[in-house]
Amino acid sequence: MPALPLILRAPERRDYAQELIDRFGFEWGSAVPEAGYWLELGYERLELCTQGKHGAVYAEFVEGAARHRREQGGGRGQPVARAIGLKSAKTLPTVVDATAGLGRDSFVLASLGCRVTLVERSPVACALLFDAIGRAARDTATADIAARMTLVHADAIAWLASLADADKPDVVFVDPMFPDTDKKSAAAKKDMQAFQQVIGDDLDSAALLQAAIGAADKRVVVKRPRLGAPIEGPRPSVVIEGKSTRFDLYVRKALS
């Protein structure tokens, strides 16, 4: 995919815009394109934009749904926490989120106290995360959570394979983008369609699962739609079902 243009809406943020361009390989944009996608850096945040009915997409850890989950979330009893093994864990597991996306799952786990390394290969998703972690670090309500989140711009298949034994995490979390065949859920997430179209489907999930199993000291957790097929490969050892989501667990050792 050609480099996305980045349009600066807040002139005093030119240095930061240049940093984003240098880090993630975007190019300067001067006018809104007639079609396709572009990034906009405003006073508040970085957004992925497109023409038409889609709203802008951005990662957010301070306000909105993240705030709600932080203040009212289900704590260690919620399905994702149980899947990671938090409910009975005496020490908090270290987690690699191998498919960080917009960081929502990582943020929940970091809110619960885990140290989370977010690995993301898409430059667009990684830039949105970089911006959101920066904003969370500057807000007193979320600064300690942001300090537990480390962002890595890499393909997790190679990155996990390169980890030394001493750096292996307790848990690797995997939530790949599958082709969306569910019309209802597609309609419900209109804004996310822009994100999905820019990122594309993850067609190498089987290789990612293998790399995750090789790198996780204790377990791999795969997030899937409740009725979705498991990732091709070994069968999960445990399955945890939520209302719309399922977690397939590949357990190596019990979390102590």
Report the binding-site residues for S-adenosyl-L-methionine: 104-105, 120-121, 175
> What part of residues 175-194 is at the interface with ligand SAM (CB under 6 A)?
175-177
Name the residue with tokens 């309609």: 187
Please report how the helices 14-24 and 123-138 are oriented relative to each other, as an axis angle in degrees rounded to 10.
Answer: 140
Nearest to 88 by CA among 209, 214, 219: 219
Binding window for ligand SAM (CB under 6 A); candidates: 14-22, 48-56, 154-162, 226-234: 154-162
Name the residue with tokens 């850890």: 61
Binding window for ligand SAM (CB under 6 A); candidates: 119-127, 143-151, 228-236, 243-251: 119-127
In the bound complex, which residue of the shown chain has the CB atom lying closest to ligand SAM? 101
CB 98, CB 160: distance < 8 Å: yes
Q: SS in 3 state form for 134-181? A: HHHHHCCCCHHHHCCEEEEECCHHHHHHCCCHHHCCCEEEECCCCCCC
- The one among 5, 85, 93, 101 contacting ligand SAM by CB under 6 A: 101
Binding window for ligand SAM (CB under 6 A); candidates: 2-10, 82-90, 93-101, 110-118: 93-101
Nearest to 8 by CA among 59, 47, 37, 62: 47
Q: Smallest distance, Å, CB 70 to ligand SAM? A: 14
Q: How many residues bind ligand SAM (CB under 6 A)?
A: 21
Binding window for ligand SAM (CB under 6 A); candidates: 7-15, 26-34, 149-157, 235-243: 149-157
Nearest to 149 by CA among 172, 123, 119: 119
CB 2, CB 30: distance < 8 Å: no
Q: Is 105 in the site for ligand SAM (CB under 6 A)?
A: yes
Q: Of 98 and 220, which CB lies nearer to ligand SAM in the complex structure? A: 98
- The one among 120, 131, 170, 248 contacting ligand SAM by CB under 6 A: 120
CA distances from 195 to 52, 124, 135, 168 (A): 14, 9, 20, 30
Q: Is 202 in the site for ligand SAM (CB under 6 A)?
A: yes
Q: Which residues bind ligand SAM (CB under 6 A)?
A: 98-99, 101-105, 119-122, 125, 155-157, 175-177, 199, 202, 208
